[in-house]
A = this chain, B = another copy of it.
Amino acid sequence: MDGCLHCVFTWQKACSIFHTQGWKHLRRSFSTEKVIHKDHSLPNPSWSKDLRLLFDQFMKKCEDGSWKHLPSSECKVPQRIHSFKTYFLDSKPVKEDQLSQARPFTRSYEVGQGFEYAMFYNEDEKRTVCLFQGGPYLEGPPGFLHGGALATMIDTTLGVCTISCMGLFMTANLNINFKSPIPLCSVVVISSQLDKVEGRKVFVSCNVRSVDEKTLHSDATDPVLVILYPYRMTFLHLILLFSLQR
């Protein structure tokens, strides 16, 4: 998950017993919690012409309100949330000094080296689009993007799509078909959408296409299953909410 989701976690843990209802809540969290940092989803010098053009096209789509640009900021999640989360899932606790160095995976590289991307969300269509340029540090086969780097961005895009529509989640399954390798430093468009919801199971899918839409690089058409688990969070949310209100 990326910086966006870090913000979502912060916001959700602090202000919601169950789950969010859209990005309006996320934006509100930025103002009330004073955790605004640099937005990494805005153009920078490493962005190629393709990525800039696509970004501008989607920003234009945002003008009528049908699409929304999703900011991606490195909000440092409070240490107590880390600890909560760690203990909450009955896992081995992580040392404090290790957690203090933690960075969201998709924002852990210097500008241009790794994951450069911007996301847009269409609430009516329950769709999220990620414009992604994989930098030179993400190499798999010589000259091409590592399959794991693409899987990372697919997971992140599906995650943002799910969290935008439904709230907190855990990815339960990721099923990716790799159709055509992606040249390093090129731009692809990852389009995801919510397919259906069955109880605590959410099914989302996506495809990855070249900028000219001629090449289908990859898809995750077998529904990707994610499970919402707010029911387990109720008590901890209440504690955290109380803690933050003091």
Chain A positions near chain B (C-beta within 8 angstroms):
1, 5-6, 9, 77, 81-83, 85-86, 89, 91-95, 98-99, 101-106, 108-109, 113-114, 136-144, 146-149, 151-156, 170-178, 180-186, 210, 222
Q: Which residues of B contact A81 (CB under 8 A)?
A: 142
Residues A143 and B183 in contact, CB atoms below 8 Å apart? no
Q: Which residues of B contact A103 (CB under 8 A)?
A: 136-137, 139
Copies of this chain, how many?
2
Rounded to whole angstroms, the CA-CA distance of A180 and B210 in the bound complex is: 33
Least Cβ–Cβ distance between A194 and chain B, in angstroms: 18
- A136 with B99: in contact, given A1-B146, A172-B178, A178-B170 (CB under 8 Å)? yes
Residues B177 and A140 in contact, CB atoms below 8 Å apart? no
Rounded to whole angstroms, the CA-CA distance of A94 and B149 in the bound complex is: 17
Query: Within the complex, which residue of B6, B149, B176, B185 is in contact with A105, where a contact is CB–CB below 8 Å?
Result: B149
Q: Which residues of B contact A182 (CB under 8 A)?
A: 91
